[in-house]
Chains A and B, each alone.
Chain A
Amino acid sequence: MNLQSIFNAIARHRVAAVLLLLLVFPLLMPYEALAANILIFGLFAVGFNLVFGYTGLLSFGHASFLGVGSYLTGIAMVHFGLHWLPALGVGVLAALAAGLVVGYLAIRTRGIYFSMVTLALGQIIYYVFYKSERWTGGENGLRGIQATPLDVGPLHLDFLNPTTKYYVIWLFVALALWLVSRLLASPFGAVIEAIRENEKRAAACGYDVAKSKLLIFVISAGICGLAGGLRALHLSVVPVDSLHYLQSGQAVMMCLLGGMGTFFGPFVGAAVFLYLEDLVTNLTKYWMAVVGLLFMGLVLFFPRGIWGTLVHLLKRHAASAGEHAP
């Protein structure tokens, strides 16, 4: 068994591999809350990457789907007394709807204008939620999200236990990742990658480019919404800046750091980013400069990101090794 065959095995069962790693993840992290945050933001980055890395659209408003998912899950629980399981469903549905509206409006534009429209629409959503204080708590955020324990057979799932909470979140993330993997491996996955490579050519081949873009946008919004709902359960609050464009910028950062257009990349990016943040903020108050330098360094020298560069190097190594086979 050499490195190459291990790598091939992982690539084939990539979902299982990621999930296995995440299963033991809490043991590697200094505290469970950080590990849970990595799960949540990893999922957020994966959802965002569907649009950014795989379809080639730079959206600057994806935080609104994270936020809509968080808020609607929270509102369902706090104002309507729903149990957290159906509340999560409400959050995801709301995010899908928001994705439909924003996507429909944004898809009509291209390139830089697409980024600007998503920024503008994202900010509008931010202000709407900010102002609706009765429902959202406004500046103070939505509080009082208390997940009641759920009994599943012999298991008593109480969110106050950090380990239990982590594995419940893990379950949902696992499901979502499996879905994304199936999606990307399907013919539809090939279509959106074709759109990224050359939109006109994809259209010439007979694919409905606009509809495909919209579909992937909506799915992406749903995944980000799920991440948002899970975040609401994790923190017991929904902070209002979940919806701000700087939060969208963070998603871009994570995908860039890990590697856009790869399956693992966003997760790696989220993990490294959050872990680094936890580490660096204990050492210096100039965390923002570190992020900025990291960002610039990636764009200039490692646009493929950590994971993407690794994959690229391994592929090159495999190619050069194979070329001289007798």
Chain B
Amino acid sequence: MPNNASIPKTLPKRRQLLQLGAAAAALGSTPFLFNIARAQSANIKIGFPTPLTGAFSAEAQDQVRAAEIAVKEFNDAGGFMGRNVELLVRDDKLNAGEAATRTLELIEKDKVDFIVGSLSAATQLSINAVTRERKILFNSISQSDAINEVKDWSPYTFHEALNPHMTSGAVARYAFPKYGKKIVYLTADYAYGQEMVRGFERAGKALGATTLADIRHPIGAADYSAFLPRIQSLNPDVLVMCNFGRDLVNSVKQATDFGIKEKTRIIAPVLLYTSREAGGAEAFEGVVGGTSYYWGMEDTVPAAKVFNDKFRKANGGAVPSDYGALGYAGIRSVLQAMVDAKSTDSLKVSEAMSRLKYNWYKGEQFYRKCDHQSVQSVIIVESKSKGMKDKNDVFNIVAVEKPDEANLRSCTELGLKA
């Protein structure tokens, strides 16, 4: 090291000041905003946690688009007592821990009045755990059986979507009498799959169906070849795919490859529009499944046409998907209940919502008193590959099961007071 003239041990005062100044400027200009009390906004805020990134982002984005329609039409009609509704969308990354954190953020930082959302069983239960402790109304818009049960339920918990029990029951009641009584289940080994099997077997028992086997596969399994030889050897009338989304796409494709369709009819409890797109016409040919909504209903249900047209207008001719429609209904129900209750207090709105009778997009609906489950129709669709009018025309509606409380599990079974 070169020998310089003596360098002072302490920094000169001017440099110190400059350094401090720089630090202060940096701090002030960073996004580290100070958590001062925020001015109370006049808007009514609805938190909307949904997985914008991850496996179901397509459905999630559809949910957001449809929810925005509901909010916009409400505001355009005058809002609530002169106040507008604001939708606060948050990405929960399809992750239960993230969903909980986002919900905490929405409640603590954004001070939302209500929460609508979710796209998986795990995330909705997570959101619900946070909202019910803090007495905020939560309307869940995706499938789960557990949210109706006493362990998770609260007076602030509402379930707009179908649950596995209703869906599987409806599909069973259509498919078993039509295709045969010897059933094999290929089940994703987690709560959803198990709930589906339970629903199918219950309905099946009443119809005299027998379960040849219930074959479990790990959720997210890529390769089903390990299970298919056994299914082949059992030779069932019906193969029920109790799985969802990508799992369904994978298993249906591979089952088709193994030639299972030659002797067996494949059915699925939930047939998503996006799964059908991802799997393709050929793999899904002839597969029958249930859904909460299919745009093709507009031919027979007037409310569906109205809703579809609104969605088309706002989205360049695109049609809404099943989960998308739930985004619309989930918001609208809450807003209507708020109007009925003349208040934004979650308790009052919950009470009003539990008395709501409505028809937003698919026919008559109402919430059952003991568990706030929306009693609604289940649509049975069959996938087609020929005779498609356009790229959206992927299903034929083969049956509609009308809304009926009897198709739900009883309040006592759920552990709730009737």
**Whether chain A touches chain B in the assembled complex (some CB pair under 8 Å):** yes
A160-B11 Cα distance, complex, nearest whole Å: 49
Say if the beta carbon of A311 comes within 8 Å of chain B.
no
Say if the beta carbon of A37 comes within 8 Å of chain B.
yes
A266-B170 Cα distance, complex, nearest whole Å: 53
B28 to chain A, nearest CB (A): 12
* Inter-chain contact B126/A239, CB cutoff 8 Å: yes
Choose one: B32, B97, B134, B190; the contact of A237 (CB below 8 Å). B97
* Inter-chain contact B35/A30, CB cutoff 8 Å: yes
Known: A3-B19, A34-B105, A241-B95. A140 touches B11 (CB 8 A): no
Known: A2-B11, A140-B146. A146 touches B133 (CB 8 A): yes
A26-B35 Cα distance, complex, nearest whole Å: 8
Of A137, A236, A326, chain B has the most CB atoms within 10 Å of the CB of A236
Q: Mark A138-163, 1 if CB is under 8 A from B, else 0.
A: 11110111100000000000001010
* Inter-chain contact A34/B101, CB cutoff 8 Å: yes
Say if the beta carbon of B109 comes within 8 Å of chain A.
yes
Say if the beta carbon of A296 comes within 8 Å of chain B.
no
The interface stretch among A15-23, A107-115, A252-260, A279-287 is A279-287
* Inter-chain contact B219/A235, CB cutoff 8 Å: no
Choose one: B34, B105, B190; the contact of A33 (CB below 8 Å). B105
Of A27, A140, A241, A321, chain B has the most CB atoms within 10 Å of the CB of A140
A162 to chain B, nearest CB (A): 5
A240-B120 Cα distance, complex, nearest whole Å: 14
Say if the beta carbon of A188 comes within 8 Å of chain B.
no
* Inter-chain contact B97/A242, CB cutoff 8 Å: yes
Of A2, A29, A130, A240, chain B has the most CB atoms within 10 Å of the CB of A2
Choose one: B1, B7, B19, B32; the contact of A28 (CB below 8 Å). B32
Choose one: A144, A145, A240, A323; the contact of B96 (CB below 8 Å). A240
Known: A29-B35, A138-B190. A239 touches B122 (CB 8 A): yes
Chain B positions within 8 Å of A137 at CB level? 125, 191
Say if the beta carbon of B53 comes within 8 Å of chain A.
yes
A140-B146 Cα distance, complex, nearest whole Å: 9
Say if the beta carbon of B18 comes within 8 Å of chain A.
no
Say if the beta carbon of B129 comes within 8 Å of chain A.
yes
Choose one: A31, A131, A323; the contact of B1 (CB below 8 Å). A323
Chain A positions within 8 Å of B101 at CB level? 33-34, 37, 235
Known: A139-B192, A235-B101, A239-B126. A2 touches B53 (CB 8 A): no
Chain B positions within 8 Å of A131 at CB level? 189
* Inter-chain contact A144/B121, CB cutoff 8 Å: no
Number of interface residues of A (CB under 8 A): 45
Q: Mark A38-61, 1 if CB is under 8 A from B, else 0.
A: 000000000000000000000000
User: Which chain B residue shows the least CB distance to A159?
Assistant: B133
A143-B104 Cα distance, complex, nearest whole Å: 15
A31 to chain B, nearest CB (A): 4
* Inter-chain contact B122/A140, CB cutoff 8 Å: yes
Say if the beta carbon of A12 comes within 8 Å of chain B.
no
Say if the beta carbon of B9 comes within 8 Å of chain A.
yes
* Inter-chain contact B126/A133, CB cutoff 8 Å: no
* Inter-chain contact A144/B97, CB cutoff 8 Å: no
Q: Mark B165-194, 1 if CB is under 8 A from A, else 0.
A: 000000000000000000000000111100
Chain A positions within 8 Å of B100 at CB level? 235-237, 239
For the complex with contacts A31-B105, A239-B122, 5 further pairs of A-B residues with Cβ separation under 8 Å are A139-B190, A143-B128, A162-B108, A237-B130, A322-B9
Q: Which residues of B contact A (CB under 8 A)?
A: 1, 3-4, 6-7, 9-11, 16, 19, 31-35, 52-53, 57, 91, 95-97, 100-101, 104-105, 108-109, 121-122, 125-126, 128-130, 133-134, 144, 146, 151-152, 189-192, 219
- Could you list 5 A-B pairs, sorted by A, with CB under 8 Å? A27-B34, A37-B101, A140-B125, A146-B133, A237-B126
Q: Which residues of A contact B (CB under 8 A)?
A: 2-3, 26-34, 37, 130-131, 133, 137-141, 143-146, 160, 162, 231, 235-237, 239-242, 279, 281, 285, 287, 320-326
The 5 tightest CB contacts between A and B, nearest first, are A239-B96, A31-B109, A139-B190, A33-B104, A239-B97
